[in-house]
Structure formats: structure tokens, C-alpha cells
Amino acid sequence: MKAALFIPLLALADASVILRRDDPGSSAQSYHFKTQQPHFFNLKVDDCKWTKRQEEDEEEELSLDDEDETPEIENAKILPGKGSSKWNRCPLAGYAIRLENGIVVATPYQKWYDPKLATFFVDDDTQLYTVSKDPLQLYIDSVTGAFKYTKLGWLPPSAISTSFYHTGNNPLGLTSPSPSYLSWPSTVGIAFDGEWAFCPLGETGQYQVFVNNANFAQQGVRKDWCKKRPLAAVNANPWRNTPNEAAE
């Protein structure tokens, strides 16, 4: 009799362990963010600025070199490449942060025609979230050092979701330098000088963001060509349309 009662009790205990993690208790409507005054911001790469005059000077210099070394190509446009001063000095100028397929990437951004950037805020527990109908939570993968995101209630076992710090105020959207940054100074030797590692995703022109490129497993991403830059936080209003949205 005792054995017959014991088996159903085991089944009930197991069922309570495997409840869905996306139950109503972890939905955006019921989740209570631990902050009373959230400070909303977008993220841009704080690389150096490349002025119009510098670009014109480089084009002139490259065109003079091409006259001696390469045949003239009609309607050719000089783009920043690995041999150009712009690429060597400011490879991530004009890049901003987007969320794609579970990872954080830096991609070229032009506010006049590109889609709206993700908007973030840091709560009182130093956890980082997006501002959206279905908020996402960001974290550092302790195995790879990658900057990643997931939906609320779905943090993986390898996730470190605390120790994000948003400092300063940047209503004018300044970079190089920025008066406001997002940093993750969690452990000595991990975040170097408050900078993040931007590692190229093949030849796409995009970069995956890591907390650094030295102390973690490779996991399929070349980390010997990474660029280290800070992440500038730019004040954002998640309810205001971007210029291209307003034009529509």
C-alpha cells in the first residue's frame, strides 16, 4: 500500500520541476522591474570620428597612388578598406548595437533610413533589459564571453545577468568621446579599461560583441582580429519615431 502511494507522489514532484519557464509569472505584464526611474538609452560604438576633410584628403591621396599603380576604373568609388587610414584608425565609426539571432552585434547605422535601434535600461540590480512589448534580458555568456540576450525567464545556466553599469547622461547623442557609457566591470582582468571586444563576423561588415577576446573559448568566432572600443550610451525615447518612420 505504501509503495502504491509513493509512485504517484514521485510523479507529482517531477511535474513541478519541469514547469514551463514562460509561465504567466515570468511574462512582461507580471514582471516587476526593480527600478523606479529607468534611464532609457541606445548603444553606439564609441570610435573616433572621421571628418569630411579627412575623407577628402584620403580619397585624393589614394587616387594619386592609383594613377601610378593600378589602371583607372570608371565610376570607381573609394571605400574604407583594410589599407585605408579610416579603416585603420576608425573601423567602427558610425556603428550601433543591434540584437540578432540571440547575440549582440555592431552594425553600420544611419538614423535617416535605418530601422529604429533597440532601447535599453539598467535596473537597480544592475540587470540589463530592452524596452519593448516583449522585453528581453541581456547577459554575458560565462563560457564564451559573448554579449547575448534572451526572453524574460529563459536565462541559460551559463548566463551572468548582473554587473551592467550605465553611467552619465548623453541627451545630445555624443560619441568620441561620449559622456555616458555602458560597462560590465564584473571581474578583474575581464573588462579591459571599460572596453568591449568587437570581433568580425566573416566578411559581413558586422561585429559580434564580447566582454573581451582573451579569456574565453573561441566557439567558432575568430577573436584575433577583434577591435576594442567602449559602448556609448545615447539617451533615447522609445515612444518617439525615428526620422525615417516620421517621413512615412
Instruction: State pLDDT tens for residues 41-63.
Output: 999 999 886 655 555 555 555 56
pLDDT confidence of residue 37: 85
**149, part of any domain:** yes
Peptide bond into 177 cis (omega under 30): yes
With bands split at pLDDT 50, 70 and 90, how would you rate the model's confidence at 179? very high
Residue with cell 526593480: 34
What are the backbone angles phi and psi of residue 68, rounded to the nearest 5°? Answer: -90, -30
**225, part of any domain:** yes
* Total domains present in the chain: 1
**98, part of any domain:** yes
Secondary structure, 3-state, the chain: CHHHHHHHHHHHHHHHHCCCCCCHHHCCCCCCCCCCCCCCEEEEECCCCCCHHHHHHHHHHHHHHHHHHCCCCCCCCCCCCCCCHHHHHCCCCCEEEEEECCEEEEEECCCCCCCCCCCEEECCCCCEEECCCCCEEEEEECCCCEEEEEECCCCCCCEECCCCEEEECCCCCCCCCCCEEEECCCCCCCCHHHCEEEEECCCCCCEEEECCCCCCCCCCCCCCCCEEECEEEEECCCCCCCHHHHHC
**84, part of any domain:** no
Candidate from 78-87, 122-131, 210-219 with smallest mean pLDDT: 78-87
Angle at 124 between CA 100 and CA 96, to 5 degrees: 30
**123, part of any domain:** yes
- What is the C-alpha separation between 34 and 140, in angstroms, rounded? 20
Mean per-residue pLDDT for 15-40? Answer: 60
Of 101, 84, 102, the closest CA to residue 93 belongs to 84
**125, part of any domain:** yes
Q: Is the pTM of this model over 0.75?
A: no
| Domain harbouring 123, CATH code | 2.80.10
Which residues span the domain enclosing 135? 38-50+92-247
pLDDT confidence of residue 121: 96
CB contact set of 68 (below 8 Å; sequence gap of 6+): none
Mean per-residue pLDDT for 55-72? Answer: 51
Of 28 and 137, more confident: 137
